[in-house]
């Protein structure tokens, strides 16, 4: 009997209709997340990153016997961090999960309280502000791309999709726990606040006269990206220090928002860190 | 009465259970597409690009009265190109469509026959070869990104998702009609074929010793990308001229395939076309 199996020797939870299961499953609903301040983290990869970077925020971790054997290293880290680990039946895990394939493991965690003030106190060099991003997959992809590009934080307006919805959490592939994600911001006030801290704001806009290739990206700046469908409203673009177009070399009309963000952030990262960092 | 309304003055198709409706709707199935060589193009944006770039491939165009008024310019181009336009009721359009919101317009088109040979005859400078791409949204996003970056073609192996599935077509946002998309290829033979035409093959690989920033991208080359989950098999990477890593500046383990492809292709485009092209 392995050490993990011993530690989980208490009888597994087997009733998929219990109050506990219902309360976990309810976290797929935005209203329940808002009220409780908690959210779901599904699958061993995401749980591993959660344990690694935000273990104190974990309320409970649920795991099936098969997943406990298969992802023993994740469980060991969780035990070492003092996380409450509960053994559950396959039925219970399926009943708790939002994902179709949660791979036998999920956690309930407390949403971090991250403010723009605390981000600005860290003298950030690279930021992205998303205005009214609606698609969960797009938001998750931008958070993942911002992480890969070494951004200091992702800023999201209050009219956007909830960053703690299960689909966003899944599509960040753990990046949600790697960098501060500030939610509930008002776009115009945020642009002002950034300016007052000497951070240049760059509005992405297909029609802009300045190309991405011609912008100085070595100093601290924040990319400001609009909605998938309409782009950034002119009132907000006007507030920014510069309007920047991503060049289109072929016949495409535009890039989708997540791709545009990834290209801008990687161009910035390359400009700010000319030596290969890996 | 507008000119379009006049030209569509024949009675609209109103029976959502007719054989015609059924045969259009059946194109959502891969087997039916394979057999007929036809596919669905949904929504006014995609139809507009289809009319603009591949009008001769259109078998039929279906439009509701409301969409005909709203997207009159698309219809005018279609009439000018000699396309068969059919007026249909809202119910018929909904019954034909795979999309939840086809916005009142869809076309049935013949899949183009594009071969690697014809692509190579055009002396391509920038290509991407996707091995076993499974996610329709990812494939569509790569085709769109490849178009934006001015790639000469997208090459796809036979083990990949069908490029003519409605979800892929939708997520290309019209780019499917802007550049040759060669499907059904065998990866190893394709890499050999590219080499014999003097096109360098670059395998993307997280662990590679060479960074994207250090590769000469001014000469003709093809990015070779593996599956979302496993990356490129070593047997294929070995066949390529060079293994290249996209630098990760933050804590993310990797980028998703579509983002990785977009970053590589844009870096190539910038290297090949140093002057802003727009």
Q: For residue A277, is it within any domain?
A: no
Give A41→chain B minimum CA distance, Å: 17
Q: Do A9 and A134 sit in the same domain of this protein?
A: no
Query: Which CATH number do you get for residue B31?
Result: 3.30.1330.30
Most A CBs within 10 A among B54, B266, B271, B273, hence the mutation to make, goes to B266
Mark whether B161 and B262 lie in a shared domain. Answer: yes
Same domain, B130 and B233: yes
| Subunit contact B253:A174, Cβ cutoff 8 A | yes
Are A175 and B252 within 8 A, CB to CB?
Answer: yes
- The interface pTM score, or ipTM, of the predicted complex is 0.88
Q: Same domain, yes or no, for B98 and B198?
A: no
Q: Using alpha carbons, list the distances in angstroms from residue B102 to A245, B22, B64, B143.
A: 29, 16, 11, 21
B46 lies in the same domain as B98: yes
Domain boundary residue, one of A70, A91, A110? A110
On whether both A260 and A173 belong to a single domain, the answer is: yes
Chain A residues within 8 A of B255 when measuring between CB atoms = 144-145, 148, 262
In a domain, A166, yes or no: yes
Asked, for residue A161, whether it belongs to a domain, the answer is yes
Of A150, A246, A278, the CB nearest to B211: A278
| Inter-residue contact A181 to A143 (CB < 8 Å) | yes
Of B120, B119, B123, B131, the closest CA to residue B260 belongs to: B131
pLDDT (tens digit, 0 to 9) for every residue of chain A, 278 residues total? 345 544 554 689 999 999 999 999 999 999 999 999 999 999 999 999 999 999 999 999 999 999 999 999 999 999 999 999 999 999 999 999 999 888 999 999 999 999 999 999 999 999 999 999 999 999 999 999 999 999 999 999 998 999 999 999 999 999 999 999 999 999 999 999 999 999 999 999 988 999 998 999 999 999 999 987 788 999 999 999 999 999 999 999 889 899 999 999 999 999 997 654 44
Determine, yes or no, domain membership for A130.
yes
B277 located within any domain: no
Residues B72 and B150 in one domain: no
B126 found inside a domain: yes
Q: Do A245 and B278 touch (CB under 8 A)?
A: yes
Q: Measured between alpha carbons, how far is residue A103 from residues A68, A97, A126 in Å?
A: 10, 10, 34
Residue A211 to residue B276, Cβ atoms within 8 A? yes
In a domain, A136, yes or no: yes
Of residues B174, B139, B224, the one with CA closest to residue B46? B174
Do A131 and A94 have their domain in common? no
Which one of B49, B79, B110 terminates a domain? B110
- For A80, A91, A152, A204, the CA distances from A222, given in Å and listed in that order, are 38, 45, 10, 11
Q: Are residues B229 and B198 both part of a single domain?
A: yes
Tokens of A202: 């760059």
Q: With CB atoms and an 8 Å threshold, state whether A247 touches B278.
A: yes
Backbone CA torsion sign across A175, A179, A185, A190 = negative
Nearest to B249 among A211, A258, A277 (CB): A277
- Judgement on whether residues B227 and B166 belong to the same structural domain of the protein: yes
Q: B79, B110, B141 — which closes off a domain?
A: B110
Shared domain check, A83 and A65: yes
**Which residues are CB-neighbours of A104 under 8 A, at least 6 positions away?**
A44, A63, A64, A66, A67, A68, A70, A71, A90, A93
Domain interval for residue B105: 3-110
In a domain, B37, yes or no: yes
**Number of domains chain A is built from:** 2
| CA separation for the pair A30, A38 (Å, rounded) | 10
Which H or E element spans position A202? strand A200-204
Chain A and chain B share a number of CB contacts under 8 A equal to 127
Same domain flag for B49 and B136: no
Pairing of strands A105-110, A58-63: antiparallel
- Read out DSSP for A62-91? EE-HHHHHHTHHHHHHHHHTT--EEEB-HH
- Asked if A250 and B178 come within 8 Å (Cβ–Cβ), the reply is yes
Q: Which residues of B touch A176 (CB under 8 A)?
A: none
Under an 8 A CB cutoff, do B278 and A178 touch? no
Among B208, B251, B254, the residue to mutate for chain A (most A Cβ within 10 A): B251
Q: What is the rounded distance in angstroms from the CA atom of residue B72 to the CA atom of residue A90? A: 55
Token couple for A144: 């993942």
């Amino acid at each position: 009997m392995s050490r993990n199996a011993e530690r989980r020797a208490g009888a597994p939870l087997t009733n998929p209709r219990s109050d506990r299961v219902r309360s976990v499953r309810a976290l797929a609903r935005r209203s329940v997340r808002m009220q409780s301040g908690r959210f779901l983290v599904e699958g061993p990869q995401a749980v591993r990153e959660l344990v690694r970077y935000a273990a104190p925020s974990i309320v409970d971790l649920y795991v099936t016997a098969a997943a406990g054997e298969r992802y023993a290293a994740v469980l060991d880290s969780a035990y070492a961090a003092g996380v409450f680990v509960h053994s559950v039946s396959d039925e219970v895990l399926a009943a708790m999960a939002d994902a179709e394939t949660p791979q036998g493991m999920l956690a309930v965690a407390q949403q971090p309280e991250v403010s723009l003030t605390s981000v600005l106190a860290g003298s950030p060099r690279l930021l992205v502000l998303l205005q009214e991003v609606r698609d969960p997959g797009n938001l998750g992809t931008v958070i993942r791309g911002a992480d890969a590009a070494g951004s200091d934080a992702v800023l999201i307006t209050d009219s956007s999709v909830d960053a703690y919805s299960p689909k966003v959490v899944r599509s960040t592939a753990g990046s949600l726990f790697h960098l501060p994600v500030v939610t509930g911001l008002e776009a115009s006030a945020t642009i002002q606040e950034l300016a007052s801290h000497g951070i240049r704001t760059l509005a992405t806009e297909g029609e802009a006269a300045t190309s991405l290739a011609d912008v100085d990206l070595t100093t601290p700046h924040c990319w400001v990206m609009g909605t998938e469908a309409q782009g950034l409203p002119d009132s907000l673009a006007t507030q920014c220090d510069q309007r920047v177009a991503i060049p289109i070399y072929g016949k495409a009309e535009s890039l989708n928002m997540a791709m545009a963000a990834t290209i801008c952030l990687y161009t910035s990262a390359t400009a700010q860190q000319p030596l290969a960092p890996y």
